[in-house]
């Protein structure tokens, strides 16, 4: 039943425009179905909560290889720098920002240290870097897949890139059911009421908010 519903959802969504898709998603959420990737539900919820504490309307924001989620927040300004036209490993942002976001990007970088140094340099004094990466997920070459970090590893990686270690908040989410589900298929949508219980020993997604 669930597989048939999923196929129906994908066929229905495929022929819709962006605005209609968003309305359809909201309607489905009201009846308990969420099309968001399961492993990103808590990461996006928690990181949104963290950013709301920073007064988003005052922030000039850059997202590296932007998706659809973060641009919907009420930032002062929002700029995209998308691969391959912009390669954060090779290119430096030409402006400075209060917040830079990399959501499910760093694991694909051949030179992650170099990339985060470029991000650090582009942040204004007191600026923030929000970095979200997967851990217990399949290798997915888009176009490459290189690196994973545990929460502790993420903290020390960002410290090595220049962020004061006492100004780095790192969290994670995951559980056995989510890990097991993604062994057969990746990614997996949240769907109807999948468990959001967190097991720190099985981090599926790791995120960090680091202050310069």
d(CA 117, CA 161): 6
- The mean pLDDT of the chain is 90
User: Which of 19-33, 54-68, 152-166, 183-197 has the least mean pLDDT?
Assistant: 19-33
**Residue 70 near residue 63 (C-beta atoms within 8 A):** yes
What integer pLDDT is reported at residue 187 of this predicted model?
A: 86
Please provide the distance, in angstroms rounded to a whole number, between the alpha carbons at the two ends of the chain.
Answer: 49
Which residue in 133, 60, 137, 69 sits closest to 103, CA to CA? 133
Domains, the chain: 39-185+195-211 (3.40.50.150)
Helix (H, G, I), strand (E, B) or coil at 24: helix
Radius of gyration of the chain (CA): 17
Is the separation of the CB atoms in 72 and 34 below 8 Å?
Answer: no
pLDDT, tens only, 13-36: 555 566 666 676 666 666 667 788
CA–CA dist 116, 97 (Å, integer)? 14
41 contacts 196 by C-beta, under 8 angstroms: yes
Per residue in 73-85, pLDDT (tens digit) is 999 999 999 999 9
Q: Please give the backbone phi and psi of residue 139, each rounded to the nearest 5 degrees, phi first.
A: -65, 130
Cα distance between residue 80 and residue 96, in whole Å:
13
Give 171's strand partners: 207
Q: Give residue 1's pLDDT band: very low, low, confident or very high (50, 70, 90).
A: very low
The least confident of 112-121, 167-176, 184-193 is 184-193
Structure-block tokens of residue 40 = 């990103």
């Amino acid at each position: 039943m669930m597989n048939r519903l999923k196929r129906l959802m994908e066929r229905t969504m495929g022929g819709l425009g962006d605005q209609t898709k968003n309305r359809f998603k909201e309607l489905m959420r009201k009846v308990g179905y969420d099309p968001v990737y399961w492993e990103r539900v808590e990461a996006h919820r928690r990181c949104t909560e963290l950013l709301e504490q920073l007064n988003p309307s005052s922030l000039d924001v850059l997202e590296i290889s932007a998706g659809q989620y973060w641009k919907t927040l009420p930032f002062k300004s929002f700029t995209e720098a998308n691969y391959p036209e912009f390669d954060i490993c090779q290119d430096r942002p030409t402006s400075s920002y209060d917040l830079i976001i990399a959501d499910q990007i760093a694991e694909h970088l051949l030179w992650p240290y170099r990339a985060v140094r470029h991000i650090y340099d582009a942040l204004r004094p007191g600026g923030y870097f929000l970095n979200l990466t997967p851990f217990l997920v399949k290798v997915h070459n888009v176009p490459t897949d290189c690196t994973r970090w545990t929460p502790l590893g993420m903290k020390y990686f960002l410290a090595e890139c220049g962020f004061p270690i006492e100004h780095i908040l790192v969290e994670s989410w995951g559980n056995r059911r989510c890990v097991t589900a993604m062994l057969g298929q990746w990614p997996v949508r949240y769907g109807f009421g999948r468990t959001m219980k967190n097991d720190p020993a099985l981090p599926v997604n790791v995120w960090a908010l680091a202050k310069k």
